[in-house]
Amino acid sequence: MATTTVARGPAKPGARAKRKAPFPVEFYRSALGKKYVMAITGIMLIGFVIAHMVGNLKMYLGPEEFNHYGEFLRELLVPILPRTVALWLLRIGLIAAFVLHIHAAYSLTRINHAARTVKYQSKRDYIAANWASRTMRYTGVIFGIFLVWHLFDLTFTGTNYHYVRGMPYENVANSLSRVPVALLYIVGNLALGVHLFHGTWSLFQSLGWSNPRFNAWRRNIAVAIAAIVVIGNVSFPIAVLAGAVHT
Amino acid sequence: MKEINVTLKVWRQDGPNAAGHFDTIPAPGIKDEMSFLEMLDLVNERLIADGKDAIVFDHDCREGICGTCSLMIDGQAHGPQKGTATCQLHMRKFADGDEIVIEPWRATAFPIVKDLMVDRAAFDRIIEAGGFITAETGGAPDANITPIPKTVADAAMDAAACIGCGACVAACPNSAAQLFTSAKVSHLNLLPQGQAERYKRVEAMVDTMEELFGSCTNHGECEEACPKSISIDFIALMNSEYLKSKFKNRKRLSQHD
Amino acid sequence: MELNSKIPEGPVAEKWTKYKFDHKLVNPANRRKYDVIVVGTGLAGASAAATLGEQGYNVKAFTFHDSPRRAHSIAAQGGINAAKNYKDDGDSVWRLFYDTVKGGDFRSREANVYRLAEVSVNIIDQMTAQGVPFAREYGGLLDNRSFGGAQVARTFYARGQTGQQLLLGAYQQLARQIGLGNVELYNRTELVDVVVVDGRAAGIVVRDLLTGEVSSHSAHAVVLATGGYSNVFFLSTNAMACNVTAAWRAHRKGAAFANPCYTQIHPTCIPQSDDFQSKLTLMSESLRNDGRIWVPKDTNDTRSPDQIPEADRDYYLERRYPSFGNLAPRDIASRAALVEVASGHGVGPLKNGVYLDFSEAIGRLGEKVIEERYGNLFEMYERITDESPYKVPMRIYPAPHYTMGGLWVDYELMTTVPGLYAAGEANFSDHGANRLGASALMQGLADGYFVLPNTIANYLAPKLGEAVVPTDHPEFQAAEAAARDRYAGYLAIDGTRSPDSFHMELGKIMLEHCGMERTKESLTTALELIPPLHEEFKRDLRVTGSGSSTNQTLEKAGRVDDFFELAQLMCLDALTREESCGGHFRAEHQYPDGEAMRDDDHFAHVAAWEWTGDASNPTRHVEPLEFNDVHLAVRSYK
């Protein structure tokens, strides 16, 4: 038979799945399932990023307001839950979302590389695929590295400045007053903005949210979210450098 | 009618496992009313006259409907004209002195057969897995027994317009076959006749597709490359159908498991 | 050679029912003991292979394409006829039967045509159940349009892509059978010979187009659904790969070839623009529903069409055929265009077209309605010609399109070789001397879905327990060796001319001398020109490359070789048919007003040709046609 691909024969749908697994796991095994997970964890992460940005705007109200906001987070849902428990639950959810988001991205990237082992030997001329959509894995990785650094910088240990646990306002002002650090924050957030620009639009497709009534808005929503997050977050290092936020 | 001179940079490859390379072939005296494939015919006639092997490329109906022709022309599937298959692309879209780069579709699931010809049997596998409505010959009820709203019939027809050329896969940075698969899933799942196998169909087709192709990251490049301009809205529809296939209680919905 | 049409007894309306009751059956449990080969996967082939697979036979399907979905049935645009009478405008099975016999200029078999009309209604039901998205009214019911040669609206359509949607429907059924393992598909595999053992079809010899390997396949029955031979004209509306090889090889092995001179020239194609052109593009006949055909009255009129006032236009179809007007049947519309162009009224840079004008319809219905009906056709036209039919009238001209002739088959679609069947355009059976628009899809699906699966059982039933002829049988071995020699031979000639250059020259001879209008003189000339050209082909062909990997030049050489022999048969058939009927117009036989003059006394028959080993000297056999239910009359569309 003149065919060079997969042997023909009775089609065996789902032959790839090895063992019967609980249905969410089975769903996640498919690439489409991974896209759903990407989209849902993406929504969680977008929610966090926006809340994080909005919370940080308190910086402009002064140290007391800002530090009080930090304390509020630790007091969240007290007395239903003991102090910091709600915050930890949120953190665990967030970490899980990150891990899944990264694992799904990693697996899909591997699938996609295997799907075209020999690349085009001439220059591609893309029409719809934009710079953001084709650099998701790079903007994701850049932001991920930045995030780790950011956690060490302001949450765990501080990075070579006078770090005081429980004094976030002072820590931010001290850290970001260093020009290279401020630049790093700007770069990290620009990468995040580019990532959100495609990611937010993309999640509508992945989740099957397509409807002529709101389709025209999907791109606008993505632009708005990316813009708000970038403008808010980039304003902090600039404000610190400009002297509007200082110890 | 105008004549132009172009230079072709054509991918030549002897067989599936051979190494390939670009051949530079001058193509002078091309009339601008020629179709792209007529230009290749002429180049082939000249190659034969020189005692050389003709360039192998897939083509048949030359009316943009059979989906046999392919070709990556200057980095775009089916070349620069939107909504147009290579066979309907005309040389008036090119200018005198242009260098035109022609490559085959590239995807692991579409191995190169020779030169510019690839094997797209992977698409057939997807259809064989579930791209049909089980309605064996005989015993069909009267065609007018189920009224189908015009909007639904039109949407199904929009999806069914797919010619199976593979441009979506070729154009996709991930070699994903989402547009092809979703077009067939949507065509059949939108229609009342397709309801009985609705979930089984999307599950089987997506699973087969994923064994062979990459995954969709919503670049939208496929829609731009599609000679029938099939919308990526169908991909969204397939995604939601697939989710339902995993979560709905099919027995209670009387839909095949 | 005996031509037994095996038409069942009884009134025409009961023949098929009676046949279905009388024929022998194969028990469902025994069907897997039979092997059936289906060559070609267009409408007829795919539907036959799928249905036989569903019924339980072991089916092997062959296509030279990469996928069954590529077959040229896909390019049919306008629609498919069926006697559903959903419009209640007076349609019935009987009227479809009558229209088809009359449309075929009384040169088809009544019994076959009636059966076609009868199963037409089942086709629409079947295809709808399979998910073909036929056009619908707002209320959700199926829509119909009217088509040439009929005064009722009985054509079902799916935008301008009806053929595509029907083929994909049949392809999907076939794909399902392939997935289930009931049908084994051999793609990129071309038939190169038919093997006959003890007077019965034993199998086929094929060539793998990717490796050049020649191999044999045996079966209890072989179905050829390999399409028509319009590509003998080089420029036609057929796809590039369409060819006569399968039918011709069967003919050389004993299958009679019937009415090869009945070729249809389609009236609405885009005129040729130059010699480089590789094929002609059809613009659906449905355009004639809203477009008006005209030429300037003055042969020297150089004004642009919108500048020519009504008074200076000649709407020649409306003038000559007031009741059918622009919807006159294809042969009549084509010849009328030929007359206009020949008399110097042609339009366009080469004065080789006529106008098909939508301005009146756009004015009446609005651009949006026209776009909905013909949008994709207008787009295609604009891509090819760089002119928008919304703004300027289309230019159209007739082009070779469909071949009514083909392998002679009896009522069971069996050729003169027992066990060898021909279906769809490959056979000659239902359209007589002219096919009506939207009837090719109907016939392909009727043959494949409803006729063959019944008739083939009648042949297979008595062969229960018989083994197929093994492929190491000397007949297979000899055919394989001949096929290998044949392809090695093309490579060995090492002459100077490509297969295409020969094909183009042959096509020009055929179009000029055996095209829309034929004379004794032109046909004699053609018969003098073709054999030397074929000799030159054998002497001076150049095929580059090798025979052991994909070589499209070599494939083409084999196809052109067979076209040469067919071309002679077409001319001989046209020469011996001393009358004008349908697509066969002999200039010597016409009424003073230019209409075709049939000779029912001498030519109300099918001419079936037997291969004698000499392409220039075949034997002519005759199957008389009887008309009991439709009265022979001069076909008038006035």
Give the tens place of pLDDT for each residue, C108-154.
999 999 999 999 999 999 999 999 999 999 999 999 988 877 889 99
Closest C-chain CA to A11: C179
Residue C337 DSSP label = H
DSSP H helical ranges for C289-425: 316-320, 330-342, 359-365, 367-385
Is residue C418 one of the residues assigned to a domain?
A: yes
The reported pLDDT for the residue numbered A18 is 58
* C486 and C567 belong to one structural domain: yes
Is residue C492 one of the residues assigned to a domain?
A: yes
What is the rounded CA–CA span in Å between residue C122 and residue B207?
34
Across chain A, which distance is largest between two alpha carbons, in Å? 78
- pLDDT tens across C260-292, in order? 999 999 999 999 988 888 899 998 888 998 999
Q: Which helix (H) or strand (E) holds A63?
A: helix A63-74
Structure-model confidence comparison of residues C374 and B55, the more confident one? B55
For residue A63, the number of C-alpha atoms closer than 13 Å in the C-beta half-sphere is 12
CATH 1.10.1060.10 correct for B121-247: yes
Number of domains in chain A: 1
The C263-269 sheet, strands edge to edge: C263-269, C394-403, C354-357, C292-296, C313-314
Name chain A contacts of C61, Cβ cutoff 8 Å: none
The reported pLDDT for the residue numbered A19 is 67
* C231 and C284 belong to one structural domain: no
Is residue A182 one of the residues assigned to a domain?
A: yes
The answer to whether residue C476 scores a pLDDT higher than 80 is yes
What is the rounded CA–CA span in Å between residue C7 and residue C290?
41
CB contact under 8 A, A125 and B9: no
What is the rounded CA–CA span in Å between residue C344 and residue C342?
5
To the nearest whole Å, the CA of B144 is away from the closest chain A CA by: 29
Is residue C634 one of the residues assigned to a domain?
A: no
Tell me which residue of C234, C238, C237, C256 sits closest to C247, measured CA to CA: C256
| C1 band by pLDDT with thresholds 50, 70 and 90 | confident
Closest C-chain CA to B37: C278
Q: What CATH number does the domain containing C499 carry?
A: 1.20.58.100
Is residue A121 one of the residues assigned to a domain?
A: no
What is the rounded CA–CA span in Å between residue C126 and residue C156?
13
Average of per-residue pLDDT across C19-27: 96
What is the rounded CA–CA span in Å between residue B220 and residue A127?
9
- pLDDT tens across B117-132, in order? 999 999 999 999 999 9
What is the rounded CA–CA span in Å between residue B64 and residue B66?
6
CB contact under 8 A, B111 and A34: no
Amino acid identity of residue C258, one-letter, is A
Q: Is some CB atom of chain A closer than 8 A to the CB atom of C341?
A: no
Which residue range forms the structural domain that includes residue C237? 12-24+34-262+404-463
Amino acid identity of residue B64, one-letter, is G
Q: Which helix (H) or strand (E) holds C421?
A: strand C420-422
The reported pLDDT for the residue numbered B163 is 97
Q: Name subunits touching C (3+ CB pairs < 8 A).
A: A, B
Q: Is some CB atom of chain B closer than 8 A to the CB atom of C281?
A: yes
Q: Which helix (H) or strand (E) holds C357?
A: strand C354-357
Task: Name the CA dihedral angle for C129, C131, C135, C141, rounded to a multiple of 10 degrees.
Answer: 40
CB contact under 8 A, A4 and C210: yes
The reported pLDDT for the residue numbered C150 is 85
* C315 and C396 belong to one structural domain: yes
Is residue C575 one of the residues assigned to a domain?
A: yes
What is the rounded CA–CA span in Å between residue C393 and residue C343?
21
**Structure tokens given for C312:** 């200076």
Looking up tokens 């990023």 gives A49
- pLDDT tens across A157-169, in order? 888 888 998 888 9
What is the rounded CA–CA span in Å between residue C255 and residue B21?
47
Parse chain B into domains and list their residue ranges: 3-114, 121-247
The reported pLDDT for the residue numbered C251 is 98
- pLDDT tens across C148-201, in order? 778 899 999 998 899 999 999 999 999 999 999 999 999 999 999 999 999 999
CB contact under 8 A, B135 and C542: no
To the nearest whole Å, the CA of A160 is away from the closest chain B CA by: 40
Is residue A13 one of the residues assigned to a domain?
A: no
**% of chain A surpassing 90 pLDDT:** 77
* C152 and C205 belong to one structural domain: yes
CATH 3.30.2290.10 correct for B3-114: no
Closest A-chain CA to C181: A10
Q: Which residues pair with C355 in a beta bridge?
A: C294, C395
**What value does the CA radius of gyration of chain A take, rounded to a whole number of Å?**
22
Is residue A163 one of the residues assigned to a domain?
A: yes
**% of chain C surpassing 90 pLDDT:** 91
Name chain A contacts of C181, Cβ cutoff 8 Å: 9-10
Is residue A8 one of the residues assigned to a domain?
A: no
Q: What is the ipTM of this complex?
A: 0.97
Is residue C555 one of the residues assigned to a domain?
A: yes
Tell me which residue of C177, C158, C167 sits closest to C445, measured CA to CA: C167
Q: Is the dihedral of CA A76, A79, A80, A84 positive or negative?
A: positive
Q: Is C46 left (phi over 0), alpha (psi -120 to 50) or beta?
A: alpha
Q: Is residue C472 within 8 Å of C620, Cβ to Cβ?
A: no
Q: Is some CB atom of chain C closer than 8 A to the CB atom of A1?
A: yes
CB contact under 8 A, B124 and C75: no
CB contact under 8 A, A32 and B235: no
Give helix C93-103 / helix C110-129 axis angle, nearest 10°. 120
Which residue range forms the structural domain that includes residue A233? 30-114+133-242
Query: Both ends of chain C: CA-CA distance in Å?
Result: 41
**Structure tokens given for A132:** 């953001």
Tell me which residue of C282, C299, C318 sits closest to C396, measured CA to CA: C282
| A22 band by pLDDT with thresholds 50, 70 and 90 | confident
Nearest by CB to A10, from C179, C209, C211: name it. Answer: C179
Tell me which residue of C228, C284, C266 sits closest to C77, measured CA to CA: C284
* C583 and C455 belong to one structural domain: no
CB contact under 8 A, C125 and B65: no
Amino acid identity of residue A193, one-letter, is G
| A9 band by pLDDT with thresholds 50, 70 and 90 | very low
To the nearest whole Å, the CA of C191 is away from the closest chain B CA by: 18
Q: State the DSSP string of A144-191.
A: HHHHHHHHIIIIIS-SSS---TT-HHHHHHHHHTSHHHHHHHHHHHHH
* C408 and C512 belong to one structural domain: no
Closest B-chain CA to C282: B63
Query: What is the full per-residue pLDDT of chain B (257 aa) written as tens digits?
Result: 789 999 999 999 999 999 999 999 999 999 999 999 999 999 999 999 999 999 999 999 999 999 999 999 999 999 999 999 999 999 999 999 999 999 999 999 999 999 999 999 999 999 999 999 999 999 899 999 999 999 999 999 999 999 999 999 999 999 999 999 999 999 999 999 999 999 999 999 999 999 999 999 999 999 999 999 999 999 999 999 999 999 888 888 888 76
Tell me which residue of C425, C417, C460, C416 sits closest to C446, measured CA to CA: C425
* C192 and C283 belong to one structural domain: no
- pLDDT tens across C230-257, in order? 999 999 999 999 999 999 999 999 999 9
Average of per-residue pLDDT across C2-26: 96
Buried-exposed string C94-103: b where 16+ CB fall within 10 A, e elsewhere: bbbbbbbbbb
Q: Is residue C239 within 8 Å of C478, Cβ to Cβ?
A: no
Q: Which of residues 102-141 of C touch B (CB under 8 A)?
A: 122, 124-131, 133-141
Number of domains in chain C: 3
Q: Name subunits touching B (3+ CB pairs < 8 A).
A: A, C
> Helix, strand, coil proportions of chain B in percent (round to 5)?
40, 15, 45
Residue C540 exposed, middle or buried by CB count within 10 Å (0-12, 13-18, 19+): middle
Residue C276 DSSP label = T
* C408 and C389 belong to one structural domain: no
- For chain B, list the strands marked E by DSSP: 3-13, 20-31, 72-73, 76-77, 99-103, 112-114, 117-118
Closest B-chain CA to C277: B38
**Inter-residue long-range contacts of B243-247, CB under 8 Å, 24+ positions, other chains counted:** B243/A27, B243/A32, B243/A36, B243/A208, B244/B199, B245/B198, B245/B199, B245/B200, B245/B202, B245/B203, B246/A23, B246/A26, B246/A27, B246/A33, B246/B203, B247/A23
What is the rounded CA–CA span in Å between residue C153 and residue C158?
15
Tell me which residue of C12, C205, C231 sits closest to C116, measured CA to CA: C12
The reported pLDDT for the residue numbered A1 is 38
Q: What CATH number does the domain containing C305 carry?
A: 3.90.700.10
Name chain B contacts of A130, Cβ cutoff 8 Å: 219
CB contact under 8 A, C67 and B123: yes
Catalytic sites of C, residue numbers: 330
What is the rounded CA–CA span in Å between residue B106 and residue B121?
14
Count of CB pairs separated by less than 8 Å, A with C: 24
Residue C613 exposed, middle or buried by CB count within 10 Å (0-12, 13-18, 19+): exposed
Is residue C6 one of the residues assigned to a domain?
A: no
Q: What CATH number does the domain containing C79 carry?
A: 3.50.50.60
The answer to whether residue A12 scores a pLDDT higher than 70 is no
Name chain C contacts of A2, Cβ cutoff 8 Å: 186-189, 208-211
What is the rounded CA–CA span in Å between residue B178 and residue B223?
10
Q: What CATH number does the domain containing A198 carry?
A: 1.20.1300.10
CB contact under 8 A, B242 and A16: no
Is residue A78 one of the residues assigned to a domain?
A: yes
* C356 and C429 belong to one structural domain: no
